[in-house]
Amino acid sequence: MTVLGISRGHATPAAAEHWVYDLVSPAGRGGVVACTHLVRAPHPHVAVSIEGLAGAPAEAGDPALAEAAELAAAAHTARTGGRAVLYPGVELLVGTLTVADLLAASAIERVTVIGGPPAAPDSPVRTRDFVRPQWMDGRLTLVTTPVAGGGIAPFEVPNPTPCCADHA
Amino acid sequence: MGHDHHHHHHPHPHPHEIDADLPPALDTSVPDSELSPSDVSRRGFLRGAGLLGAGAAAGMTGVFSVPDVAHAQGPAVQAGKLQWLAGDHHIHTQYSSDAMYRVVDQARHARAYGLDWMVITDHGSATHAKIGVDKVRPDILAARDDLRELLIFQGLEWNIPAAEHGTVFVHPGKNELAVLKEFENAYDGAVTNTTDPGAANEALAVAGIKWLGEAVRRRRIDGALFLANHPARRGVDSPHEIRAWRDADPQVAVGMEGAPGHQAAGIPKPLGPGGGRGAYDNSPSAASFPGYPLESYRTWGGFDWMTSTVGGLWDSLLAEGKPWWISANSDSHTVWLESAVRGPGDFATDGRYGDPVHGTSLNTGASDFWPGYYSRTHVGATTATYRAVMDAIRDGRVWVDHGGLIKSLDVRAREAGNKGRNSDTPLGGVLTVRRGTAVEVTIEIDLADQPNWAQFVPALARVDVIAGAVTGPVSDPDAFTTPRTRVVKSFEVSAHTGRVSFTHNFGRVDEPFYLRVRGTDGNRGQAGLMGAAVDPFGPAMDLSGDADPWQDLWFYANPIWVLPTT
C-alpha cells in the first residue's frame, strides 16, 4: 500500500501528532497507519507518513521539506522507522491490558522491554492511554519498561518533564 | 621524576621547567630528530593519544602536557596531603524562574549537610542577564560573610548553544561579575536564541568556552570552569559536541555530571513525584542525536547513561586519552517534602521571586534534595580555598557519591610494591612508569560510620575496578562506545565498620591505559549494556515512579592514567 510522506516542519512529535489527528477524521481512520519521524535536514523537525489514507490529504506538505517527507515515507515503507500515532486498534489500548490482549487488539506486532526481563503474554501493560509503537526491524514494536506497581508501561510517557519546568 | 616541582597554576605551565630526568619520549624539549626510532614511534603514539603535550608541542596548553604530568606527581598534590572537600556545582535560587529559595537558604542547608563548597547556578535567560545576575551578587557576598567556612562560587547554568545546560563558574575576584555577565549576554543559548541544533549554534558554544579561557589568560579572572549538566537527559548533547567543548579549552571544559540532580523525582506516589529518577523521562526529539539508544534517556542506579555504561560514552573519551571528569549535584530548585512555597512577585519584572513564605503542606511533587543531603562531589584540594577547589576539579581529583555510601575514598596508582608514598598517583593523575613495570592500584575506603540524611548507615557491598586501554583519537567524533574497557576486578565488602583496603595488581604494563573505580550498596543491578563480559553487575535502569534513591546507592571515582615509557 502506498505510503504518503508529508512534512510541514512541526517542531515536536506532539505538534505533528495533533496535525495528523486533524487531518485524518475519526471516520477515515480505518486501516490507516500514520507515523511521526524525527528528521535532521534541512533542519531538525518532525515529518509525517500516512499509509492507507482514502483519497488525497486535505493539506499538502511544505515543498521545501519534500526531501524530509520522502525520507519519512521510505522509512515507513521499509518498516525501519516511524512512531505510529494512528494504527488499527489504537483506540482500544486504554487502561491496563495484557501483552497478549494488546497484540490481539491492535496492529502492534511485538512488545520489548528495556530495563527488565522480557514480557510474558500475561504481563500487564499499563497503557496510560498513550501507546506509540515504532517500526523497528520490519515490525510495529512497542518498547516498554517495568513500572511502579508491577507490570510494564510504554517507554514514552505522555507528559515528560519539560526542559525547565515553569520556564519564564 | 618531577618531585621537586613547584606547584604552578593552570593554565600557565612552563615547558622549560621540565625535569632533565624526564624520559626522552615525554620530554618535548627533545626534538624528534634526537630521539631513538622507538622513542619517535612512542612519542607519536602518545601525542596522537593526547597523552603527550600535544598542547605543549603546539605552543598551547593541555592537561596532559608534560608539565602537568609532573604537576600531578609533584609535592603540591601528594596524595596523602589532600583534603577532600565535598561540594555541589549545580544549585538554583529565587533568581531562577523555576526555583524559589534565597541564596542563604541553599547555603545554610549546604553547610548543615556537610558541604565545603557550592556554586550558585541560576538559569541563563534574558531576564537573568538583565536583572538577576546583578541582583544575586550582594546575596552571594552576604552569604560568604555569613558562612565563612563555606566557599560559595557565583556561576551560571548556561544554556549551551545547540545543546543542554551546563555549569559555568569563575574564581571570585573584581571581574567575577563582569565576566559572568558578558559571557551570559554573548553566549547563553536562551539570551541569544541559539538553543536549536546546528553547526552555527554549536560553534557559538565552542566560542563561549574559548572566550572564558581567554578571560583567564588575560588575567581578568583567576579561573573558569564548565561542566555539562544532565548530559543525556534529552539526547541533545551529541558526542561530537562534547568532544568539541573539551577540545575548545581543556582548562575550562573539564567534565559533566555523572549523576544528575532531581534524585527524588522517582520516589513513588503519593508521597513522591512518581516520575523518572533525575527527571529523566524523555523520549527522542528532533533535536536529539539520532544515534543515542532509548536506554540513554533514563538513569541507571541514579547515574547518567554516559557515565553508568562501562564501555560507553565517558569511557570512549577516557580511552582517547581525553581528561573528562564527572560530578554529582543536587540541581536543587524545590525540595521534596519541604513546606515553604515560592514568594510573591513578578519574575519577569523583578528578575527574582520574593523570598519564600511558609506554606501549610508538604511538597510531595518536588523532586530535589538540599545541597549535600544526597549527592556530593568530593574534590582533593591542597588547601580549603576557591583556587584549590577549582584546581582539583580541573585536575580530576574528584569522586562522587550518593546517600553517604562511604565516608572517604583514597585511590592511588603506583609501581607495584613501592610503598614510597611520594610516588603515589591520585585520582585524575598520570602515573608514568618504565614499560614492563608492574603497576597496582590501592583503594582505601573509610566505611560510613554515621547515619546519612535518611538516618541509616549505608553498607557498601562491592567495589569494582574498571580499566581500559588508551587507544588514541577516534576517527568518528560521534563515537560513544569503546571496545577495550571492562570491569577487571570486583571486591566484595564484608566489613561493616572501619577502613577497608583493596589492591589490584595490573601486572607488567606495556601500553597506556586508565583505571577507574566504582562501588555500590549492591541492592540493584544487572549486566551492563555492553554485556556481562564487560560489566557483569552494572547498575539497573531506574524505574519510573518506583525509584527510592536511598535504596540504590553508588559511588564513582574519576580515572587515573598509567603511561608506560621506554
Establish if A19 touches chain B: CB-CB under 8 angstroms: no
B345 touches chain A (CB under 8 A): no
Whether residue A78 is found in the same domain as residue A108: no
pLDDT of residue B74: 39
Closest residue in A to B331 (Cα) is: A164
Number of Cβ atoms within 10 Å of the Cβ of A28: 14
Domain ranges of chain B: 15-73, 378-383+393-565
* Same domain for A66 and A12: yes
Calpha distance B74→B397 (Å, rounded): 14
Q: What is the mean pLDDT of residues B177-185?
A: 98
Give Cα separations from B475 to B376, B471, B478, B479 (angstroms).
Answer: 35, 11, 9, 8
Which residues of chain B make contact with A143, given a CB cutoff of 8 A? 294
List the grid coordinates of B336. Answer: 521534596
| Sign of the four-CA dihedral B232, B236, B242, B243 | positive
Residues B186-205, mean pLDDT to the nearest whole number: 97
- CA Rg, chain B, in Å? 22
Query: Are A124 and A81 part of one and the same domain?
Result: no
pLDDT of B437 strictly over 60: yes
Q: Do A34 and A71 reside in the same domain of the chain?
A: yes
Do both A72 and A108 map to the same domain? no
Query: Do the domain assignments include residue A168?
Result: no
Q: Which pLDDT belongs to residue B81? A: 86
B417: contact with A, CB 8 A cutoff:
no
CB contact under 8 A, B298 and A115: yes
Is A163 contained in some domain? no
Residues A66 and A37 in one domain: yes
Same domain, A69 and A102: no
Distance between CA atoms of B322 and B49, rounded to whole angstroms? 8
In a domain, A32, yes or no: yes
User: Which residues from B are below 8 Å from A168, CB to CB?
Assistant: 97-98, 125, 127, 347-348
Q: Does B97 touch chain A (CB under 8 A)?
A: yes
Q: Kindly give the interhelix angle for B176-187 and B133-146, rounded to the nearest 10 degrees.
A: 140
Which of B289, B299, B543, B548 to probe by mutation at the A interface, max A CB count within 10 Å?
Answer: B543
**What pLDDT is recorded for position A149?**
85
pLDDT score, position B30 = 55
Among A116, A165, A168, select the one facing B127 at the smallest CB separation.
Answer: A168
Give yes or no for a contact between B237 and B229, defined as CB atoms under 8 angstroms apart. no
Q: Which of residues 50-109 of A touch B (CB under 8 A)?
A: none
A100 falls within a domain: yes
Q: What is the pLDDT of residues B301-340, one digit of tens each?
A: 999 999 999 999 999 999 999 999 999 999 999 999 999 9
A78: helix, coil or strand?
helix
**A24 lies in the same domain as A43:** yes
Domain range for A72: 3-86
In chain A, the number of structural domains is 2
Which CATH code of 3.30.2420, 2.70.50, 2.40.128, 2.160.20 fits the domain covering B378-383+393-565? 2.70.50
User: For B463-486, what is the mean pLDDT?
Assistant: 97
- Tell me what pLDDT residue B421 has: 59
Question: A37 and A80 share a domain?
Answer: yes
Q: Least CA distance to A47: which residue of chain B?
A: B286
Q: Contact at 8 Å (CB) between A114 and A143?
A: yes
Q: What is the ipTM for the molecules in this complex?
A: 0.93
Q: Return the closest-CA partner of residue B209 out of B195, B192, B227, B194.
A: B227
Q: Could you identify the residue written with the cell 602518545? A: B46
**What share of chain B has pLDDT > 70, as a percent?**
86
Task: Give the minimum alpha-carbon distance from A115 to chain B in angstroms, rounded to a whole number.
Answer: 5
List the one residue out of A23, A78, A77 whose CA is nearest residue A51: A77
User: Under DSSP, is residue B274 helix (H, G, I), strand (E, B) or coil?
Assistant: coil
pLDDT at residue B262, as a whole number: 98
pLDDT beneath 70, residues of chain A: 1, 163-168
- Examine the pLDDT at B6 and tell me if it is beyond 50: no
Q: Taking residues B365-379, report their average pLDDT.
A: 98
Question: Given CB atoms, is A117 within the 8 Å cutoff of chain B?
Answer: no
What pLDDT is recorded for position B33?
61
Torsional class of B417: left (φ above 0), alpha (ψ -120 to 50), beta (otherwise): left
Nearest to A114 among B269, B295, B546 (CB): B295
State the smallest CA–CA distance between residue A133 and chain B in angstroms: 13
Total CB pairs under 8 A between chain A and B:
90
Average pLDDT, chain B: 89
Q: Residue A20 has what pLDDT? A: 95
- Which residues of B are less than 8 Å from A163 in CB distance? 234
Of B85-89, B418-422, B510-514, give the lowest mean pLDDT range. B418-422
Claim to verify: residue A53 and residue A111 sit in the same structural domain: no
Average pLDDT over residues B479-502: 97
DSSP B145-183: HH-TTSEEEEEEEEE-TTS-EEEEEE--STTHHHHHHHH
Helices B386-395 and B66-73 cross at an angle (nearest 10°) of: 120
CB atoms B543 and A167 under 8 Å? no
Cβ pair A115:B295 closer than 8 A: yes
User: Which pLDDT score, from 0 to 100, does residue B47 have?
Assistant: 53
Q: Which chain A residues are closer than 8 Å to B526 by Cβ?
A: 115
The per-residue pLDDT for range B231-290, each reduced to its tens digit, is: 999 999 999 999 999 999 999 999 999 999 999 999 999 999 999 999 999 999 999 999
Which residues from A are below 8 Å from B542, CB to CB? 115
B16-34 residue pLDDT tens: 333 334 445 555 555 566 6
Calculate helix-pair angle for B199-217, B176-187, nearest 10 degrees. 170
Q: Is A136 on the interface with B (CB under 8 A)?
A: no
CB contact under 8 A, B543 and A166: no
- Please give the average per-residue pLDDT across B380-408, as a whole number: 97
C-alpha triplet B407, B412, B415: angle, nearest 5°: 155
**Per residue in B27-83, pLDDT tens?**
555 556 665 555 555 555 555 455 554 333 332 233 343 333 333 433 347 777 899
- Is A15 found in the same domain as A74? yes
